[in-house]
């Protein structure tokens, strides 16, 4: 849990300097030697995934996050078909690039188009480097490998090209991402990875990341990043997009939990961020922010502890769907 001493005062429009926000903690990411901030900045919104976002607004958010101690930014060639990386390349110019580690992902080109072949991965990543205006990134991942046509080729050919790119100095560390924890565990066991990104498996209704992946990762010295702490919109007042793959029972339970928080004068999104950011078992949780207000909310969640009574009530509501997930790609999560 987050201690009460880590509660700085914020005001809307404040600049989040390190001397005013001293609550950021850092953990080593596996055996990489990278010490990452508890809160990482997700780049999907910079790819216009959730509506238009100007370069100037993105710059405000990115620079304020770095000033607050965030030292890892996660993006992908898939986000806006390169738009996220293009914007990040621009806003990290002028010395900001040296203050953060970049994690980007290759292999997923569009929602339904993937190319995990060695040449496809290399071409995709070379485009990422150009857009990011850098000659290397700290972390390169194969993106959403559960959608590959042949998992054996991913474990063999895709892993091999990742290692070659690492040997060439174009990335410091390599890894993979996907929803199914079993597939991610296999990748860890077989591919000599440094880092993996897991999403939707550590949040208010699903904590299987702790039991089904972290022990395997620890055995192999692999760092784990937690993404989608609000379960792709399930744990929000507005609820998920129509395409969300969760079953009706999960969606209904999350709606009930969100309404309960509202009745109690709380926001389930804020509670969900407090819950994830308060875990010492996970080095970093990736969360997007498209405005300074959204960034400030995440920093407040980092700096405060959940109301234990409200948290218990919400967990009781979600108990019938606890650790339930949904199919993704060519295997079940």
| pLDDT for position 10 | 40
Residue spans of the chain under pLDDT 50: 1-15, 18-20
**What pLDDT does 20 receive?**
45
Q: What pLDDT sits at residue 21? A: 55
In a domain, 257, yes or no: no
Domain CATH code at residue 217 = 3.20.20.100
Residue 277 has a pLDDT of: 97
Q: Is 79 a catalytic residue?
A: yes
- The answer to whether residue 103 is domain-embedded is yes
Q: What is the pLDDT of residue 139?
A: 98
Which one of 50, 79, 199, 202 is the catalytic residue? 79
**SS3 at position 161:** helix
Does 258 fall in a domain?
no
Q: Would residue 260 count as lying in a domain?
A: no
For residue 262, being part of any structural domain is answered with no
Residue 288 to residue 278: CA distance in whole angstroms: 17
What is the number of domains present in the chain?
A: 1
Looking at residue 23, its pLDDT comes to 79
Residue 289 lies in a domain: yes
| Residues pairing with 110 in the sheet | 113
Range of the structural domain that residue 155 is part of: 17-234+272-305
Q: Is residue 241 one of the residues assigned to a domain?
A: no
Whether 219 is covered by a domain: the verdict is yes
Q: What is the pTM of this model?
A: 0.92
Residue 286: φ, ψ to 5°: -90, 125
What is the Cα–Cα distance from 331 to 333, expressed in whole angstroms?
7
d(C-alpha 41, C-alpha 327), whole Å: 27
For 9-32, write each residue's pLDDT tens digit. 344 344 455 444 557 999 999 999
Which of 297-325 are b and which e, b meaning 16 or more Cβ less than 10 Å from the residue's Cβ? bbbbbbbbbbeeebbebbeebbeebeebb
């Amino acid at each position: 849990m987050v201690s009460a001493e880590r509660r700085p005062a914020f005001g809307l429009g404040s600049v989040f300097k390190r001397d005013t926000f001293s609550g950021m903690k850092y953990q080593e990411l596996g055996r990489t030697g990278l010490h990452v901030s508890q809160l990482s900045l997700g780049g999907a919104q910079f790819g216009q995934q959730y509506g238009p976002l100007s370069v100037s607004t993105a710059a405000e958010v990115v620079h304020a996050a770095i000033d607050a101690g965030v030292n890892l930014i996660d993006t992908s060639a898939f986000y806006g078909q390169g738009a996220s990386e293009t914007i990040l390349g621009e806003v990290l110019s002028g010395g900001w690039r040296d203050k953060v580690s970049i994690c980007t992902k290759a292999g997923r080109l569009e929602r339904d188009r993937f190319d995990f072949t060695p040449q496809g991965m290399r071409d995709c990543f070379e485009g990422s480097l150009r857009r990011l205006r850098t000659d290397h990134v700290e972390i390169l991942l194969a993106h959403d490998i559960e959608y590959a046509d042949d998992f054996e080729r991913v474990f063999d050919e895709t892993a091999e090209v990742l290692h070659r790119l690492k040997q060439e100095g174009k990335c410091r560390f390599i890894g993979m991402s996907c929803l199914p924890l079993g597939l991610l565990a296999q990748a860890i066991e077989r591919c000599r990875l440094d880092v993996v990104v897991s999403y939707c498996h550590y949040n208010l209704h699903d904590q299987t990341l702790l039991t089904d992946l972290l022990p395997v990762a620890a055995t192999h010295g692999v760092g784990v990043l937690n993404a989608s702490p609000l379960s792709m919109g399930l744990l929000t007042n507005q609820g998920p997009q129509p395409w969300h793959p969760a079953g009706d029972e999960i969606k209904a339970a999350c709606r009930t939990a969100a309404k309960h928080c509202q009745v109690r004068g709380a926001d389930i999104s804020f509670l969900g961020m407090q819950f994830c950011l308060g875990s010492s078992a996970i080095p970093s949780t990736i969360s997007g922010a498209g405005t300074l207000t959204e960034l400030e909310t995440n920093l407040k969640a980092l700096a405060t502890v959940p109301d234990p009574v409200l948290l218990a009530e919400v967990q009781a509501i979600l108990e019938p769907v606890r650790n339930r997930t949904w199919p993704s790609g060519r295997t079940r999560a």
